[in-house]
Amino acid sequence: MTAIVAVGAQWGDEGKGKISDWLAIHADVVVRFQGGNNAGHTLVVDGEKTVLHLIPCGVLQPGTVNLIGPGVVVDPRVLRDEIDQIEAKGALRDPSRLRVSGRAHVICDWHISLDKARDEARQEAAIGTTGRGIGPTYEDKVARRGIRMADLLDPESLRIAVDRIAREKNFELVELYRWKAIDPDVLYDELVALGRRLEPYVDHTGRILDEALCAGKHVLFEGAQGTFLDIDHGTYPYVTSSNCVAGAVCTGGGVGPTRIDGVLGITKAYTTRVGGGPFPTEDEGEGGRWLGERGNEFGATTGRKRRCGWLDTVVLREAAIVNGFTALAVNKLDILSGRSEIPVATAWKIDGKLTRDFPMTLGELARAEPVYESLPGWQEDLQGVRRYEDLPDAARRYVDRIEALVDVPVALISVGPGRDETIARQELFAR
Ligand code: IMP
């Protein structure tokens, strides 16, 4: 298999960083294709923790080329800081190992201010965005008035763009939201300086990707957020502003669908969600608290407490359809040790009707009551297990039941945050 897409099957935070990092060991090229620094990947390599928000996880693998595709929105300050951090670790000596598309749109101060001002103004209906300027930057992209990474390398046209956009943004910020205006001179100077710092990394990523695929290299497309945060397929409007499903690889990475060989759906062994919006299997009682504490469920980007609940196979089946999963990775199975029984949702009741299909509207979703099947739990600690056969019977039965209910094989099981704490049942990137 040459080109694999790894995407979240739930509402983000499925542990994509851990799985992508594990897959990146055998990847030549790792590509981010959507989202921005609203994502947060925590990687634990040899006990050392690195949190990345923008740079693909392959950067920690010597020799791997990492691409930030045109579908990503880039906060150039965050990119600079992550480059500094990785350079300081000695893991990025050669700039050709990190390439950023000149077509990727740039997150500016006004996007961040507008993101926060608008979500504040929504009051109880707040989406609970990460406040990183993601939505407003995608809006400007679609409105054909955004600034792209390549523009940072051209001070003259950048000046014109900054002045033009500042007028409009400051009007909205000050007149509509009573927020502070952004000084276009200060912003311009900063963007020019950032352009100079980042110039060695800006490139035509689509060509690099094409060459890698033609040469039969192993390419990993690393998704951010998750299927139900997707702007079209998620729980709109409680979603992010990009397409997070596997199909987004084509537009956001710059590759045709015929060149993708497999799609790995990543799920936790239970479910979490950050921010607002419906979440049928959320457990606001003892079970949810137990999952949150054992699973240390706090966001890597904002530090916010995640809402917790049980695994929902209605959600996973829908994700399997939308993404075309060829395999699943089940994360954090170790967290479930210690319960006598574990509920798994197999269907929903909406307005008295039983369904296994994900509904079309948010209203139906908000009224969905999960129908649970109770599976036997296990007491053993799983963190030291490396082979599927060595899992306790009940843990294996849990995994088998997921496979049967979602109708997708479970290729990987994660039993701890460390790179080696992984059970592989299938070689995804065989050399
Ligand atoms: P935004 O992406 O900052 O606009 O936030 C929109 C919604 O997506 C909010 O509910 C966020 O909490 C959620 N979100 C965005 N990125 C992530 C992520 O990486 N993990 C989990 N939730 C996320």
- Assigned domain for 430 exists: no
Closest CA to 54 of 63, 64, 71: 71
- Assigned domain for 402 exists: yes
Is the shortest distance between the CB of 241 and ligand 1 below 6 Å? yes
Is the shortest distance between the CB of 297 and ligand 1 below 6 Å? no
State whether 87 and 224 are in the same domain. yes
β-bridge partners, 372: 345
More confident residue, 62 or 198: 198
What lies within 8 Å, CB to CB, of 213 at 6+ separation is 2, 3, 219, 255, 259
131 pLDDT higher than 90: yes
DSSP per position, 36-92? -TT--EEEEETTEEEEESSS-GGGGSTT-EEEE-TTBEE-HHHHHHHHHHHHHTT--
1 pLDDT higher than 70: no
Phi-psi region of 47 (alpha: psi -120 to 50; beta: other; left: phi over 0): left
Give me the mean pLDDT over the 121-142 stretch.
95
pLDDT value of residue 120:
95
Give the burial class of 352: count Cβ atoms within 10 A of its Cβ; 0-12 exposed, 13-18 middle, 19 or more buried: exposed
Q: How far apart are CA 60 and CA 20, in angstroms?
A: 11
Give me the mean pLDDT over the 160-185 stretch.
96
Task: Report the helix count and the strand count for the chain, using DSSP H and E.
Answer: 12, 20
326 three-state secondary structure: coil
13 CA distance to ligand 1 middle (Å): 9
pLDDT value of residue 431:
53
The proportion of the chain whose per-residue pLDDT surpasses 70, expressed as a percent, equals: 99
- Assigned domain for 379 exists: yes
167 three-state secondary structure: helix
State whether 288 and 415 are in the same domain. yes
Residue-wise pLDDT for 345-362, tens only, equals 999 999 999 999 999 999
The catalytic site residues sit at: 13, 41
The strand pair at 353-355 and 341-350 is best described as antiparallel
Is the shortest distance between the CB of 39 and ligand 1 below 6 Å? yes
Cα separation values, 412 from 227, 378, 428, Å: 19, 19, 9
State whether 35 and 172 are in the same domain. no
Tell me which of 262, 290, 312 is where a domain ends. Answer: 262
Best residue among 18, 114, 129 to mutate for probing ligand 1's pocket (most ligand atoms within 8 Å of CB) is 129
State whether 289 and 408 are in the same domain. yes
Give me the mean pLDDT over the 184-198 stretch.
98
Residue-wise pLDDT for 396-415, tens only, equals 999 999 999 999 999 999 99
pLDDT value of residue 89:
87
**What is the number of the ligand 1 atom nearest to the C-alpha of 276?**
10
Contact (CB, 8 A) for 231 and 240: yes
State whether 48 and 143 are in the same domain. no
State whether 419 and 281 are in the same domain. yes
CATH number at residue 208: 3.40.440.10
284 three-state secondary structure: coil
For the chain, give the number of residues. Answer: 431
53 pLDDT higher than 60: yes
Contact (CB, 8 A) for 75 and 301: no
289 three-state secondary structure: helix
Residue-wise pLDDT for 219-262, tens only, equals 999 999 999 999 999 999 999 999 999 999 999 999 999 999 99
Largest CA distance in the chain: 66
- Assigned domain for 431 exists: no
pLDDT value of residue 406:
98
State whether 253 and 347 are in the same domain. no
pLDDT value of residue 92:
87
Q: How far apart are CA 355 and CA 370, in angstroms?
A: 10
User: What is the band of 178 on the pLDDT scale with cuts at 50, 70, 90?
Assistant: very high
State whether 254 and 121 are in the same domain. no
State whether 89 and 216 are in the same domain. yes
- Assigned domain for 109 exists: yes
Give, in degrees to the nearest 5, the angle at Cα 355 between 225 and 16.
15
Helices (H), 199-277: 205-214, 248-249
CATH number at residue 161: 1.10.300.10
42 pLDDT higher than 80: no
Give me the mean pLDDT over the 296-319 stretch.
92
Tell me which of 143, 172, 198 is where a domain ends. Answer: 198
pLDDT value of residue 427:
87
Q: How far apart are CA 132 and CA 301, in angstroms?
A: 10
Contact (CB, 8 A) for 248 and 66: no
Give me the mean pLDDT over the 266-279 stretch.
95
Residue-wise pLDDT for 89-124, tens only, equals 888 889 999 999 999 999 999 999 999 999 999 998
286 CA distance to ligand 1 middle (Å): 25
pLDDT value of residue 91:
86
41 pLDDT higher than 90: no
430 pLDDT higher than 70: no
Q: How far apart are CA 343 and CA 9, in angstroms?
A: 19
Which of 218-254 are b and which e, b meaning 16 or more Cβ less than 10 Å from the residue's Cβ?
Answer: bbbbbbbbbbbbbbebbbeebbbbbbbbbbbbbebbb
Q: What mean pLDDT value characterizes the chain?
A: 95
What is the residue range of 327's domain?
266-424
Residue-wise pLDDT for 315-352, tens only, equals 999 999 999 999 999 999 999 999 999 999 999 999 99
**Structural domain count of the chain:** 3
240 CA distance to ligand 1 middle (Å): 6
Is the shortest distance between the CB of 13 and ligand 1 below 6 Å? yes
- Assigned domain for 345 exists: yes
Give me the mean pLDDT over the 265-271 stretch.
98
Is the shortest distance between the CB of 58 and ligand 1 below 6 Å? no
pLDDT value of residue 304:
84
State whether 186 and 236 are in the same domain. no
- Assigned domain for 429 exists: no
Best residue among 225, 231, 272 to mutate for probing ligand 1's pocket (most ligand atoms within 8 Å of CB) is 225
Is the shortest distance between the CB of 128 and ligand 1 below 6 Å? yes
State whether 173 and 277 are in the same domain. no
Tell me which of 145, 180, 198 is where a domain ends. Answer: 198
25 CA distance to ligand 1 middle (Å): 27
- Assigned domain for 215 exists: yes
CATH number at residue 328: 3.90.170.10
Question: Residue 70 — φ and ψ, nearest 5°?
Answer: -65, -20
State whether 77 and 22 are in the same domain. yes
